[in-house]
């Protein structure tokens, strides 16, 4: 059972937009910056978003992040079949003194 709650799966058609949510508490998302990770099948995770809404160099602007209160959201526009992956949110939790990941959302691009 993850400290951060994500929907297990989502699906959308190519070209569409999706939003993946991550729900936490005041001790994690409510007081710390969130990062998002993409894990393509059979590969290591890759950071997409850090500090709630910043993109590392090389990450297209189709990917965006936001945070409000104790929830964070990853947005992906112009969906491509190559975006089929598992997506995880991550954040520091002050109460646990631990980094925590969400349970992950499996995105299917139909």
Partner 1 sequence: EVQLVESGGGLVQPGGSLRLSCATSGFTFSSYEMNWVRQAPGKGLEWISQISSGGNIIYYADPVKGRFTISRDNAKSSLYLQMNSLRAEDTALYYCARSYCTGASCYRDSWGQGTLVTVSS
Question: What does the binding site for partner 1 look like in residue numbers (CB under 8 A)?
Answer: 2, 32-33, 35, 37, 39, 44-47, 50-51, 54, 56, 86, 88, 90, 92, 96-104
The torsion defined by the Cα of 34, 39, 43 and 49, in degrees rounded to 10, comes to -40
Pick between residue 16 and residue 42 the one whose CB is nearest to partner 1: 42
**Cβ atoms within 10 Å of 82's Cβ, excluding its own:** 9
Pick between residue 24 and residue 102 the one whose CB is nearest to partner 1: 102
CA distance 40 to 27: 29
Pick between residue 63 and residue 101 the one whose CB is nearest to partner 1: 101
Q: Report the residue count for the chain.
A: 110
Write down the least CB distance from residue 71 to partner 1, Å.
17
Q: What H or E segment, with its residue span, contains residue 98?
A: strand 98-101
């Amino acid at each position: 059972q993850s400290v951060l709650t994500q929907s297990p799966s989502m699906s959308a058609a190519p070209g569409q937009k999706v939003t993946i949510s991550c729900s936490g508490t005041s001790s994690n998302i409510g007081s710390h910056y969130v990062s998002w990770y993409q894990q393509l099948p059979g590969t290591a995770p890759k950071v997409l978003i850090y500090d709630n809404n910043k993109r590392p160099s090389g990450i297209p602007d189709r990917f965006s992040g936001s945070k409000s209160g104790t929830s964070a959201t990853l947005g992906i526009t112009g969906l491509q079949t190559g975006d089929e992956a598992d997506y995880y949110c991550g954040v520091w939790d002050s109460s646990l003194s631990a980094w925590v990941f969400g349970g992950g959302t499996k995105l299917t691009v139909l």
